[in-house]
Amino acid sequence: MNEFELIERIFVQMQSAQSLSNNVEKGIGDDAAVIALPVGARLVSCIDTLVQGRHFSADWEQVNKLAFAIGYKAVAVNVSDIAAMGATPHSILLALALPKRLANEKWLTEFAKGLFHACQLFGVALIGGDTTRSDSLILSVSAQGLLAADTPAVYRSGAQVGDKIYVSGALGDAAYALKYPEIAVGIELAHRLHMPTPRIALGAALAKIGATAMIDISDGLYQDLGHICQQSRVGMRLNLEQLPTSKPLANVDLSERLLCQLAGGDDYELAFTLPADIEPPVSNNTPVTYIGDVIALIDNKDSSIDNVTYRRPQLYYQGQPVTPTHPAPFSIWPNLTGYQHFAG
Amino acid sequence: MNEFELIERIFVQMQSAQSLSNNVEKGIGDDAAVIALPVGARLVSCIDTLVQGRHFSADWEQVNKLAFAIGYKAVAVNVSDIAAMGATPHSILLALALPKRLANEKWLTEFAKGLFHACQLFGVALIGGDTTRSDSLILSVSAQGLLAADTPAVYRSGAQVGDKIYVSGALGDAAYALKYPEIAVGIELAHRLHMPTPRIALGAALAKIGATAMIDISDGLYQDLGHICQQSRVGMRLNLEQLPTSKPLANVDLSERLLCQLAGGDDYELAFTLPADIEPPVSNNTPVTYIGDVIALIDNKDSSIDNVTYRRPQLYYQGQPVTPTHPAPFSIWPNLTGYQHFAG
């Protein structure tokens, strides 16, 4: 059996164990998949790539050890994008660029287990894919979700002055785990980096109650809220002492912790805005925290903090304005920008 | 301006020049795209990856020179998969893993021009994407098409004994151009490798008149017809002297030419089966040629030609059976399999 057949066998076997919903007329195995769509539904589509050495370790021993988590995460990060529109995830397609050293039954089986575990958890079906050989591991997943006819999608462009800003879960755990992998394992943060939880139910609930803007935090709160500022043509005031913090991270040095929470990335929490008279959904599983307010756009292009292409939120700590250079302990942030895909 | 912003600027500018159809509610620039769907439509989805050094040259000078063609081809190969289902292409998402040396305005602009040129030719909109840094150029495109409620999709699994086998266009040009790039330029075959023509109108017409099985030829006719044999549980008799051949390729040595036509790949023509009483569509742009017949499955697993996991068509040349080792001139085909993604 060649590697090509091996991959097909593993994926077709695991797919047949999937309970494909009735409306998947054709899944894996033809030129394309075919899905019957509910009347009036709108289609929500995205694509996201994980690259070895960027989104997970370049080290082959780590890549071997993390096969399950890599499969899981490739699904989760795309499902998170669908959730951030307020849509319900439906199906995914996988483009796998696979190095020869990973094209073995053990790695592929663990990877597929992680991928199908995520599919089952998030209610999506793997309906198609493509495998090619490459020198490093690169995974592109395209996800599709559905929005009912009467549910508006929540864009980045709808935030209004006076809206309150909220974020789900806790921030900074994944960034800290990436920066300090040995410490992170001890204090149980590693899973937050390797197996993030997309906030599907929260996203859908927010679309229904009238959230004005929403984004999933993949590149760090500071940069991602900046996208809402830019596309909604608003400013933001962010209160750093209100950022939701996990118990393990609460013990970390304040400046280091805030840097992870603002600029670390990989949180896959939802940041969103709601009119002041609408209360956010209450859930035991997915806490939601008020972190600031949408304010009018101030054109202060001369200030050091705002002299970037993307407008950024104004930062306050216990009522005092904070810039990347002033005052201590924030003065260790010379390049507060958020995760840069092209850094390094 | 960093590279990230450069890419956004180039793509957003070119996208705004696209005439997005009314039903794209949200294109590039949010967590995901949103599309309103026609009532009763079914969604057809696929994903395909082009890897530097596999699907186009590893040589940086070539990659620089071919920027336009690479952008075009990334769209065309996916549109071809949608066409092979009988569906009408609608939209694409692009995951671009980009090496630092290509992240400059000149290369990106040429690449985007080729991509949007293909989008316009094939009537698809670029609705989303993702850019990451990698060591070599890797492009994953996910395409979406639509099938009207009353049009059946054409799968690989519907071929019936007695059906006739047809193929569109001419075969082998791209494979020959890949193997002999210097000669190919002289005899005008290079464009068939770099800028293939997906057969959209033919695919849609075939779904309407009742084609029983269809596949696009990306890995070589021999292997791709094998997928129809396997999934339809039928055999095939293929008449090699009937394979459609372009004028430049007709002058090539017979054995070399047939090898390119059977096992070369990258044709992006449609191979399909029709009941004997249904005539194929006639078009000046897209000739269609009868190349063989669907026959009952013969379980000859001891024969050398059939001792592969995927069942393959039986080959005949001027009425005589041909195997990869007998007779001459076919005896130079020791490994007649079709393009292997994992070869090399």
Residues of B in contact with A45 (CB under 8 A): 32-33, 35, 91, 93, 127-128, 142, 144
The structure tokens listed for B48 are: 């395909």
How close B33 comes to chain A (CA, Å)? 5
The structure tokens listed for B308 are: 């592969």
> CB–CB of A47 and B5 under 8 A?
no
Q: Do A79 and A39 touch, CB atoms closer than 8 A?
A: no
Nearest to B85 among A5, A31, A342 (CB): A31
How close A153 comes to chain B (CA, Å)? 8
Q: Measured between CB atoms, does A51 come within 8 Å of chain B?
A: yes
Nearest to B47 among A84, A129, A342 (CB): A129
User: How many CB atoms are located within 10 Å of the residue B75 CB?
Assistant: 27
Closest CA to A51 of B130, B132, B53: B132
> CB–CB of B95 and A47 under 8 A?
yes
Rama region for A198: left / alpha / beta (φ>0; ψ in -120 to 50; rest): beta
Distance CA B96, CA B107 (A): 13
Q: What is the pLDDT of residues B19-61, one digit of tens each?
A: 566 688 898 889 999 999 888 899 999 999 999 988 888 899 9
Residues of B in contact with A144 (CB under 8 A): 43, 45
Distance CA B344, CA B323 (A): 24
How close B228 comes to chain A (CA, Å)? 9
Distance CA B320, CA B15 (A): 54
> CB–CB of A147 and B29 under 8 A?
no
Q: Measured between CB atoms, does A48 come within 8 Å of chain B?
A: yes
Q: Measured between CB atoms, does B49 come within 8 Å of chain A?
A: yes
Q: What is the pLDDT of residue A19?
A: 60
By DSSP bridging, strand B314-317 and strand B33-36 are unpaired
Distance CA B288, CA B283 (A): 8
Q: What is the pLDDT of residue A185?
A: 73
> CB–CB of B32 and A49 under 8 A?
no
The structure tokens listed for A297 are: 């756009």
Q: Measured between CB atoms, does B211 come within 8 Å of chain A?
A: no
> CB–CB of B45 and A32 under 8 A?
yes
> CB–CB of B1 and A309 under 8 A?
yes
Q: Do A214 and A206 touch, CB atoms closer than 8 A?
A: yes
How close B321 comes to chain A (CA, Å)? 27
How many interchain CB pairs under 8 A, A with B?
222
pTM here is: 0.91
Distance CA B93, CA B75 (A): 9
The residue of B20, B30, B135 whose CB has the most chain A CBs within 10 angstroms, and thus the best one to mutate to test that interface, is B30
Q: Using the Cα atoms of residue A160, residue A165, residue A168 and residue A174 in order, give the sign of their dihedral.
A: positive
Identify the closest residue of chain A to B93 by CA–CA distance: A47
Distances from the Cα of B317 to the Cαs of B184, B247, B292, B329, in angstroms?
Answer: 26, 20, 11, 11
Q: At A72, which helix (H) or strand (E)?
A: helix A67-83
Residues of A in contact with B308 (CB under 8 A): none
How close A325 comes to chain B (CA, Å)? 22
Q: What is the pLDDT of residue A341?
A: 46
| Each residue's pLDDT expressed in tens, for chain B with a length of 344 residues | 677 778 888 888 887 767 566 688 898 889 999 999 888 899 999 999 999 988 888 899 999 999 999 999 999 999 999 999 999 999 999 999 999 999 999 999 999 999 999 999 999 999 999 999 899 999 999 999 999 988 999 999 999 999 999 999 999 999 999 888 888 777 778 888 889 999 999 999 999 999 999 999 998 999 899 999 999 999 999 999 999 999 999 999 888 899 899 988 899 999 999 999 999 999 888 999 999 999 998 765 544 444 344 478 888 988 888 876 655 556 556 556 555 444 33
Rama region for B40: left / alpha / beta (φ>0; ψ in -120 to 50; rest): left
What is the arrangement of strands in the sheet containing A213-216, beginning at the earlier edge strand? A213-216, A270-274, A164-168, A288-295, A235-239, A314-317, A320-322
Q: What is the pLDDT of residue A2?
A: 73
**CA B325, B227, A132 angle in degrees (round to 5)?**
90
Nearest to B32 among A81, A129, A131 (CB): A81
Q: Do A226 and A305 touch, CB atoms closer than 8 A?
A: no
List, run by run, the mean pLDDT of 10-residue segments along chain A (344 residues): 78 74 83 91 95 89 94 97 97 95 94 95 93 92 94 96 98 91 79 93 97 96 92 94 95 89 92 98 92 85 45 86 65 55 39
> CB–CB of B103 and A147 under 8 A?
no
Q: What is the pLDDT of residue A338?
A: 56
Q: Measured between CB atoms, does B140 come within 8 Å of chain A?
A: yes
How close A125 comes to chain B (CA, Å)? 13
Closest CA to B291 of B221, B257, B242, B220: B242
Tell which A residues from 77 to 116 touch B, by Cβ distance under 8 Å: 81-82, 84-85, 87, 91, 93-95, 97, 100, 103
**Angle A67-83/A200-209 helices, nearest 10 degrees?**
0
The residue of A5, A43, A266 whose CB has the most chain B CBs within 10 angstroms, and thus the best one to mutate to test that interface, is A43
> Tokens 């995927």, residue?
B310
Distance CA B207, CA B288 (A): 15
In whole angstroms, how large is the CA radius of gyration of chain B? 21
Q: Measured between CB atoms, does B75 come within 8 Å of chain A?
A: no
Return the beta strands (E) in chain A as ranges: 24-26, 33-36, 42-51, 88-98, 125-133, 138-147, 164-168, 213-216, 235-239, 270-274, 288-295, 314-317, 320-322
Q: Do B173 and B192 touch, CB atoms closer than 8 A?
A: yes
How many whole angstroms from its chain centre is CA A82? 10
Q: Measured between CB atoms, does A32 come within 8 Å of chain B?
A: yes
B72 HSE (CA, 13 A, CB side)? 18
Nearest to B31 among A46, A131, A134 (CB): A46
Q: What is the pLDDT of residue B341?
A: 46
Tell which B residues from 305 to 324 touch A, by Cβ distance under 8 Å: 309
Q: Is B97 helix (H, G, I), strand (E, B) or coil?
A: strand
> CB–CB of B97 and A156 under 8 A?
no
Q: Do A153 and A204 touch, CB atoms closer than 8 A?
A: no
Q: What is the pLDDT of residue A49?
A: 93
Distance CA A186, CA A180 (A): 10
Residues of A in contact with B32 (CB under 8 A): 44-46, 81-82, 84-85, 87, 143, 145
Distance CA A94, CA A49 (A): 10
Q: What is the pLDDT of residue A344?
A: 32
Identify the closest residue of chain A to B129 by CA–CA distance: A47
How close A227 comes to chain B (CA, Å)? 9
> CB–CB of B35 and A45 under 8 A?
yes
Q: Using the Cα atoms of residue A165, residue A170, residue A173 and residue A174 in order, give the sign of their dihedral.
A: negative
